[in-house]
Amino acid sequence: MLLGPQHVITDPDCLKRAAGATFPTANSLVAILKPASREQVQECVRVANRYGTPLYPISSGKNWGYGSRAPSADGCVLVDLGRMRTIVDFSEELAYITVEPGVTQNQVIEFLRARNSRLWIDATGSSPDCSLIGNACERGFGHTPYADHFAHTCALEVVLPTGELAHTGFGRFDNAFAAPIYRWGFGPSIDGLFSQSNLGIVTRMTFWLMPAPECFQAFFFRCGDERQLHDVIDALRRLRLGGTLRSAMHIGNDYKVLSGIQQYPWSESHGRTPLPADVMEGLRRRYNFGRWNGSGALYGTRRQVAEARRIVKAALNGKVDQLQFLDDRRIALASRFAGLYRMVTGWDLTRALELVKPVMGLMRGIPTQQPLRSVYWRRREPVPEHMDPDRDHCGLLWCGPVAPATGEHAIALARIAESTLLSYGFEPMISFTMLSERALGCVTTITYDRAVAGEDDRAMECYRALSEGFERAGYFPYRLGIQGMDRMNGNNGYNAVVRTIKNALDPNRILAPGRYDPQ
Amino acid sequence: MLLGPQHVITDPDCLKRAAGATFPTANSLVAILKPASREQVQECVRVANRYGTPLYPISSGKNWGYGSRAPSADGCVLVDLGRMRTIVDFSEELAYITVEPGVTQNQVIEFLRARNSRLWIDATGSSPDCSLIGNACERGFGHTPYADHFAHTCALEVVLPTGELAHTGFGRFDNAFAAPIYRWGFGPSIDGLFSQSNLGIVTRMTFWLMPAPECFQAFFFRCGDERQLHDVIDALRRLRLGGTLRSAMHIGNDYKVLSGIQQYPWSESHGRTPLPADVMEGLRRRYNFGRWNGSGALYGTRRQVAEARRIVKAALNGKVDQLQFLDDRRIALASRFAGLYRMVTGWDLTRALELVKPVMGLMRGIPTQQPLRSVYWRRREPVPEHMDPDRDHCGLLWCGPVAPATGEHAIALARIAESTLLSYGFEPMISFTMLSERALGCVTTITYDRAVAGEDDRAMECYRALSEGFERAGYFPYRLGIQGMDRMNGNNGYNAVVRTIKNALDPNRILAPGRYDPQ
């Protein structure tokens, strides 16, 4: 037998659980295979070709809001790569790490700590147990200057849909020193084909790591209204284009922030949904956050950070309220003198620090469970210690359109998200991220309680209306979940190329049919 | 007729000239077509498919050292895209420009000047008349923070080998605002397929432009020996990884620098080649340059640049000689007080400034003819006003391996280049470029006089020995010329993928057979 019996799962309950997600799913699984090596992955693929059984590979399977582990087509065998947890290569000097798909954010953090490394990863705001490869291949993002995950990788090792192995860039040469540090190699660059695709199973990948700067300082601010949001996005774009800001800035609205602090205030709202405006206003005052809440960070030498602070202050002056700079020293100080600090600044630091610490961690590449709590927003049970949104009936759908980073576009995006979600009775949780010098991502969250009858349908309708609303207005998502793979469909030259390549590389259509698969 | 008769060239002399390069070429051309639009390009491709005639597309055709306009296979029709000179789109606010393949560096510079734009391009060190698209698709590099050209592009419009049109990223949606500013779109990223490939003809492409910083300062230094070179490369890597240096640093050896200043000193060498060591020593003293000569630049606000200067000074202290910082103010000052300056610093600034100005221009994205002069190094006629290396019998072959940016690798590269070129009787002109935070490029130049009998053969043998020497040692090139396309051959998974895609997208093998085309 190819894998030991304990690594081939056919128990119907297990299969059913694995085929579920944070929204309704329809496709069932035939089995779950847990290969331990690329050779076993290759063997799985060869067998699948022989029998014509489609495979659906996952890394850690924590793709919550986009489909979790659930397959994009019926009758698939799930290939769970979670056992492939080897850290294959590491260089402190050249600042990279090469990992397998089962390697998680926490595992790398521990690996680096054990070596007293000065290197950071760029973490996603999801779970510390997320796979690095899984997230990068979905082109996820984080909060340090290495925020664009896929752009900071190279040397992919890929099991092709026929079972052959391919290495990208210089990785195809056994003796190429530059394989882990130079993306392109020579000849056509094929790395991109294996992101957001069903064209291969990535079994190894090199991630570039960021050396910890001498000095790190976070900053926080608020915008009270659309005018301020408009102006601050324009200011942040200029700061990023000019190189003063190097990381993905983040601006969350009040709903987004509140859902990270507590669950839905059922009693204050007298059971009504969506959240009444006056209740929200009370909560904004209680927790002391604004309509829009921004965070970012400065990295460099002490003087570089000081100069960046000066520039940021000048650029945001008049466009934001309560601009605050925070670092470890100030936090330690503030913790000791929280009462005094409050008196002087009007800010309840003790409480704020609890909320701010995980955010500051993320800006240093330290993963946190904290944002995941928001998935339990509408649930009436308390958030369990070991969170599992799939198991716990958490309803979650994400839609993340991209726009040019201008105030005008930010407001257009926010208005579409707000009006659509409210019209379906959901709180419009919105977070803007400066994905690059020019691009603004707008992750809109639909979160609900799957245990409430009718909510699944309403949420899916809302998702569809939201996606279509964004697209009609000219905003397309940076990523798709299995709930939205039909957005790939259509007749255009790009789809013709992708279809041609799919047919050529995967003649038996073995690999993840329906996943980023234009019809 | 598809194109007017004046845009279909069959004159044997013209065809022969176009099939030549800066080294011996064997493949002949059947005709030259000059389409004026993507529709005409599509029509050319359709007709070619009908008759089974291979096409060889060029942009400006100035790919000197890598094959100029000469095709990679016999019997091709050259498709010269030089007439497609439209600047299609431009945004000062979002800092991008969308161009056709005939648009040159100079054309964009003039376009920006006419609009009083504050945006810079990143220029190659080749000719101001080079095509932006041509260079980016070959993954060329420049000298500002946007040095990696292909990494600063998106939204490719491509005529596929079957004549269909495809748009990459969000470009496939007519109304997508993010098309010119976000690389990825959603779904598999196919942009990389059209770089260093024969998989499509890029007819339009968006380039991101860098906003001019408040302050710009260049710096120059020298390394006298291997020890210093070793240490400075390690120091520069750390400065780049830490974000203090953001651009592609450049370190040229004495041969490289000399060839930019003057032609071969035939009389001082009494006609002997390669250049005798004592003559070189004298020239180093006369022109006051070192064994290794570095240049780089700082970008930012005045204070950011001041802090970067402090960090660079500290990091390079003891590792380099004669570290000098230069900006426009200092140059103006120095020009007025050149004599005094020389007295104080020992540096002949008047002369140095003449050499330094084009280098400083490049670091601000201003293209220059100056480095091209070095191609005339071994020619006995003076450099003509209008340089044309193909016409003027200039022998030029480039080989640019990539290595991790460490001192150890830099020395290994330099030793291979030096010993190989000297053993074939050529001067080993070497320039190192910090292609990224982790990657060091080593462009090695074989330049010779094609009019001298036997030199063509010797140069080609030298090129082959050099490529093989680098590869045996673990260093592979960032780019291939038609003289080295056989380096693509071999049985590996990457080549299997590229072959499969080629066969699927170009079933009639119409497009540039032999170009980045693994056998």
User: So what's the ipTM on this one?
Assistant: 0.96
CB-CB under 8 Å, B438 with A94: yes
- Cβ neighbours of residue A425 under 8 Å, at least 6 residues apart? A273, A274, A458
* A227 has pLDDT over 80: yes
User: Which chain A residues are within 8 Å of B152, Cβ to Cβ?
Assistant: none
Q: How close A228 comes to chain B (CA, Å)?
A: 19
**CA geometry: angle B10, B54, B516, nearest 5 deg:** 120
Q: What is the DSSP track for B145-214?
A: TT-BTGGGEEEEEEE-TTS-EEE-GGGGSTT-TTTTT-S--SS---GGGGSSSSS-EEEEEEEE-EEPPS
User: Which chain B residues are within 8 Å of A208, Cβ to Cβ?
Assistant: 437-438
Closest B-chain CA to A164? B493
* A356 has pLDDT over 90: no
* A339 has pLDDT over 80: no
CB-CB under 8 Å, A186 with B477: yes
Residue A320 dihedral angles phi and psi, to the nearest 5°: -135, 165
CB-CB under 8 Å, B94 with A406: yes
- CA–CA separation, B262 and B258 (whole Å): 6
Query: Which residues share a beta bridge with B433?
Result: B250, B441
User: Which chain B residues are within 8 Å of A244, Cβ to Cβ?
Assistant: 300-301, 304
Ramachandran sector of residue A304 (left: φ over 0; alpha: ψ -120 to 50; beta: rest): alpha
Of the candidates A481, A487, A471, which has an alpha carbon nearest to the alpha carbon of residue A519? A487
Res. A10 pLDDT band, cuts 50 70 90:
very high
Q: How close A247 comes to chain B (CA, Å)?
A: 12
Interval A442-459 mean pLDDT: 98
**DSSP at A315:** H
- CA–CA separation, A228 and A232 (whole Å): 6
User: Which chain A residues are within 8 Å of B488, Cβ to Cβ?
Assistant: 186-187
Which pLDDT belongs to residue B389?
Answer: 97
User: Which chain A residues are within 8 Å of B310, Cβ to Cβ?
Assistant: 303
Q: How close B343 comes to chain A (CA, Å)?
A: 34
What pLDDT, in 10s, does the model give residues A268-290? 999 999 999 999 999 999 998 99
Which pLDDT belongs to residue B343?
Answer: 65
Closest A-chain CA to B197? A188
What pLDDT, in 10s, does the model give residues A294-330? 999 999 999 999 999 999 999 999 999 999 999 988 8
What pLDDT, in 10s, does the model give residues A151-207? 999 999 999 999 999 999 999 999 999 999 999 999 999 999 999 999 999 999 999
CB-CB under 8 Å, A211 with B95: no
Helix spans in A149-275 (H): 226-241, 254-261
Return the beta strands (E) in A140-232 as ranges.
153-159, 165-167, 201-208, 210-211, 215-223
Closest A-chain CA to B237? A94
Closest A-chain CA to B471? A176
Between residues B357 and A234, which one has the greater pLDDT? A234
* A350 has pLDDT over 80: no
- A215-223 and A292-300 as β-strands: parallel, antiparallel, unpaired? antiparallel
Res. A337 pLDDT band, cuts 50 70 90:
confident
The H or E element spanning position B501 is helix B493-505
- CA–CA separation, B170 and A476 (whole Å): 8
Between residues B345 and A483, which one has the greater pLDDT? A483
Which pLDDT belongs to residue A347?
Answer: 61
Which pLDDT belongs to residue A332?
Answer: 82
User: Which chain A residues are within 8 Å of B403, Cβ to Cβ?
Assistant: 177-178
Which pLDDT belongs to residue B337?
Answer: 75
What pLDDT, in 10s, does the model give residues B290-303? 999 999 999 999 99
SS3 content of chain B, % helix, strand, coil (to 5): 40, 20, 40
Q: How close A304 comes to chain B (CA, Å)?
A: 6
CB-CB under 8 Å, A186 with B516: yes
The H or E element spanning position B234 is helix B226-241
Which pLDDT belongs to residue B348?
Answer: 66
**Angle of the B254-261 helix axis to the B349-362 helix axis, nearest 10:** 100
Of the residues A497, A500, A502, the best mutation for testing chain B's interface (the one with the most B CB atoms within 10 Å of its CB) is: A497
ω into B5 cis (within 30 of 0): no
What is the CB neighbour count within 10 angstroms for residue B414? 21
Tokens of B38: 């993507």
User: Which chain A residues are within 8 Å of B304, Cβ to Cβ?
Assistant: 244, 304, 307-308
CA distances, B270 to each of A462, B62, B274, B276, B287 (Å):
84, 34, 11, 10, 20
Which pLDDT belongs to residue A329?
Answer: 87
Which pLDDT belongs to residue A345?
Answer: 62
- Ranges of residues in chain B with a pLDDT under 70 are 1, 340-349
Do residues B80 and B32 touch, judged by C-beta distance below 8 A?
yes
Ramachandran sector of residue A263 (left: φ over 0; alpha: ψ -120 to 50; beta: rest): beta
* A374 has pLDDT over 70: yes
pTM over 0.95: yes
End-to-end CA distance of chain B: 36
